[in-house]
Amino acid sequence: MERRPLIGVTAFLHRIEETFDAQICGNRTPEAVAEVAGGLPLILPGLPATASTGELLDLLDGLVLTGARPNVHPSFYGHDETEAHAPFDLGRDNLVLPLTRAMVEAGKPVFGICRGIQEMNVAFGGTLHPEVRDLPGRMNHRMPKGEKDPEVIFKKRHQVSFREGGVFHHLFGTTAAVTNSLHGQAVWEPGDRVVIEGHAEDETVEAISIEAARSFALGVQWHAEYDAMEDPVNRALFAAFGAAAREARKA
């Protein structure tokens, strides 16, 4: 029996009871990797001293950059730190940013989700805005404050329009989709190879691709993992990522 492609799924730093540091990852992403992408998920702690970029590059057939509460530290895109940028996870930053570039250059698939789209943009020289809802004409993209019900938190809140003739248009067969929205920061200035593939109604960047990537290299601002088994758009993303990971493994 052929082995499933090995997919790195990033964890993030979380302090338990204000005492113990832990690396955590929600269940939905590894479940989507296994059930829709057909991969074998391997959760990657944000501890760069435990594994080098080269070791992970040799090991992995694909990489999913998950959403996370901490944000990419602004020093990685030349901005000063402010309260709006926090909280941070420098361990994950230092693991993921070089690994993302290396995976793309090696022709291995990368799928960025929420924080992941932001990491992809920063990895290729782009910048982020710390709080898009503060910009004139922008909507509040954050989840309802204090909400505990996942069905409310991950409710589809706005439409995303995709670039006609772009990667997402070809993948979905449509130029629009309705998605959830759970973020404060967003892509601001795109990196050198970052192609803007989709916007929300208020022009906030919601989808990107990496120009001249030899494999799947897409990022979305919404949480595609939440309903990847049922939602046709999110299912198509994970299925295409899985197919690319199988090709990378064969190669």
Q: Which residues pair with 20 in a beta bridge?
A: 16
1 pLDDT higher than 80: no
Closest to 217 in 3D by CA, of 99, 67, 129: 99
* 122-180 pLDDT tens trace: 999 999 998 888 888 888 788 888 888 999 889 999 999 999 999 999 999 999 999 99
Average the pLDDT over each of 16-20, 75-79, 125-129 and give the range with the smallest value: 16-20
Q: Is 180 exposed, middle or buried (0-12, 13-18, 19+ CB in 10 A)?
A: buried
83 pLDDT higher than 90: no
Alpha helices in 20-135 (DSSP H): 28-35, 53-59, 90-105, 115-123
* 49-58 pLDDT tens trace: 999 999 999 9
Average pLDDT over residues 183-188: 93
Looking at residue 179, its pLDDT comes to: 97
Domain ranges (residues) in the chain = 6-250
State the pTM of this model: 0.96
Average pLDDT over residues 29-39: 98
Cα–Cα dist 37/246, whole Å: 9
The residues carrying an active-site annotation are 114, 223, 225
* 198-251 pLDDT tens trace: 999 999 999 999 999 999 999 999 999 999 999 999 999 999 999 999 999 998
Q: Which residues pair with 111 in a beta bridge?
A: 64, 218
Q: What is the mean pLDDT of the chain?
A: 95
**Identity at 107, one-letter amino acid code:** G
- The structure tokens listed for 90 are 């420098």
Of 3.40.50.880, 3.30.70.270, 3.30.390.50, 3.55.40.20, which CATH number belongs to 6-250?
3.40.50.880
Q: Which residues neighbour 181 within 8 Å (Cβ) at sequence distance 6 or greater? A: 141, 142, 143, 157, 158, 200, 221, 222
> b/e for 220-229, b at 16 or more Cβ within 10 A?
bbbbbbbbbe
